[in-house]
Amino acid sequence: MLTLGWLGVQAQGKFVTREGHAHIYSSTPAEDITADNNQVTSTIDTETGDMVFSIPVQSFEFEKSLMQKHFNNSTFMDSKTYPRIRFVGKILNLPDVDFSKNGKYTATVKGDLTIRDVTKTITEQGTIEVKDGKISAESTFIVKGISDYNVGKPSGNKKNNVAEDIEVTFKGTYMKE
């Protein structure tokens, strides 16, 4: 059986984070919008390459409370009806990621992103770092076409206050489950 570094942690199996961090960023002529969420749950199976992310929508925190209210209301994310954003995918280049030794690896992940019960297949890249028995993952990518996920946007003179494409950054440190 493979081990991770000097700690002797088994490199095979499922690893989990329950305190992953997601950051969203939207830029429009009206204003930039950012929010953070420190309650992202995610698993990585080092044997199969399976990855799952679950993000509670109501846990995004905005600088302005009115933005948070608008984000969660029924005309935008409708977080009461659709409480989670979910991603289920797989590391496509799993042989290139050596979970048995310290190092940084580029991972290509493909899977299904579900927002408001609309699922689209996406392929993104990220970095996986193995260091002294811990696995960290990080990725920045663009969710294109939020209206394609049935996410509402303001109407009238405020219709351009929310961008159609949203930048998402994820960071998480995983421990053996």
pLDDT tens digits along 37-77: 999 999 999 999 999 999 999 999 999 999 899 899 998 99
The number of folded domains in the chain is 1
Q: What is the CATH number of the domain that holds 93?
A: 2.40.128.110
**Do residues 81 and 115 lie in contact, with contact meaning Cβ atoms separated by under 8 Å?**
no
The tokens for 15 are 């690893």
pLDDT per position as a tens digit, 79-116: 999 999 999 999 999 999 999 999 999 999 999 999 99
Pure H helices in 35-115:
65-72
The tokens for 169 are 């950054």
How big is the CA angle at 132 (ends 129 and 135), to the nearest 5 degrees? 35
Bridge-based pairing of strands 50-56 and 32-45 is: antiparallel
Specify the 3-state DSSP secondary structure of 94: helix
Task: Specify the pTM.
Answer: 0.89
What is the domain range of residue 53? Answer: 3-176
CA distance 111 to 133: 26
